[in-house]
């Protein structure tokens, strides 16, 4: 029996595994955050129009916001941080420029959230607004949501493409190993 030698040095194999795992984790978290964000903007926000007449809408909204933190803001920040790491440990088949672009888009989403959405959410948390004022705030929040949706969908689509490249690279490695074993 002949002993097979690895095609790549051990350090290179470890780096490839790290990059592949990081891409997979970042993509998974990005898909989840994108889905949750789309649900919030297109299902949750419109449902609040039915609740604006209740006396305690501000308390309801504040409680909802506290419960949302582990489901949207924290994963968004984690996905953005992982995307930043992906710039450093980018899989070889994925263009680093695309990773930088997705990172920039995620930073833009965070910026829109901090600069526009959070102040509107804080106003909705404050008691004393009339139903018409709440409706106007919800209208503005829905428009801001679109500013996050467009880059979010673009980032998710880019990660679909990156994962496809990663899978193609993996199948190429498997085929190369099969060919070497046959020799």
Asked whether residue 1 is assigned to any structural domain, the reply reads no
The pLDDT value recorded for residue 37 is: 97
For residue 70, what are the domain limits?
Answer: 17-175
Contact, 145 vs 41, CB < 8 A?
A: yes
- In whole angstroms, what is the distance from residue 120 CA to residue 125 CA? 9
The pLDDT value recorded for residue 2 is: 55
Contact, 141 vs 65, CB < 8 A?
A: no
Asked whether residue 43 is assigned to any structural domain, the reply reads yes
In sequence order, the 6+-apart residues with CB closer than 8 A to the CB of 97 are none
Instruction: Output the pTM of the full model.
Output: 0.85
Give the angle subtended at the CA of 108 by the CAs of 164 and 96, to the nearest 5°. Answer: 35
The pLDDT value recorded for residue 4 is: 54
- In whole angstroms, what is the distance from residue 97 CA to residue 50 CA? 44
Asked whether residue 78 is assigned to any structural domain, the reply reads yes
Asked whether residue 9 is assigned to any structural domain, the reply reads no
Asked whether residue 5 is assigned to any structural domain, the reply reads no
Q: How many separate domains does the chain show?
A: 1
The pLDDT value recorded for residue 109 is: 98
Asked whether residue 183 is assigned to any structural domain, the reply reads no
Q: Which of 104, 118, 88 is nearest to 23 (CA)?
A: 88
Extract the residue ranges of the chain whose pLDDT is less than 50. Answer: none
The pLDDT value recorded for residue 172 is: 64
Rg for the chain, CA atoms, rounded: 22
Contact, 49 vs 117, CB < 8 A?
A: no
Kindly compute the dihedral angle of the four CA atoms of residues 22, 151, 60, 120, in this order, to the nearest 10 degrees: 130
Asked whether residue 165 is assigned to any structural domain, the reply reads yes
- In whole angstroms, what is the distance from residue 96 CA to residue 105 CA? 14
The pLDDT value recorded for residue 11 is: 74
């Amino acid at each position: 029996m002949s002993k097979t030698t690895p095609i790549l040095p051990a350090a290179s194999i470890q780096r490839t595994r790290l990059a592949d795992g990081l891409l997979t984790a970042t993509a998974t978290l990005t898909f989840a955050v994108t889905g949750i964000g789309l649900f919030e903007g297109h299902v949750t926000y419109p449902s609040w129009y039915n609740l604006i007449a209740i006396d305690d809408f501000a308390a309801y909204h504040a409680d909802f916001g506290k419960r949302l933190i582990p489901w949207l803001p924290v994963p968004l920040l984690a996905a953005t941080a992982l995307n930043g790491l992906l710039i450093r440990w980018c899989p070889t088949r994925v263009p680093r420029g695309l990773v930088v672009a997705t990172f920039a888009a995620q930073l833009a989403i965070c910026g829109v959230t901090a600069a526009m959405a959070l102040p509107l959410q804080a106003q909705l948390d404050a008691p004393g607004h009339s139903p018409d004022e709440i409706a106007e705030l919800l209208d503005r929040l829905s428009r801001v949501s679109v500013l996050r949706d467009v880059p979010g969908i673009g980032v998710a689509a880019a990660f679909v493409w990156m994962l496809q490249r990663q899978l193609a690279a993996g199948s190429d490695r498997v085929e190369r190993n099969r060919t070497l074993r046959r020799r």
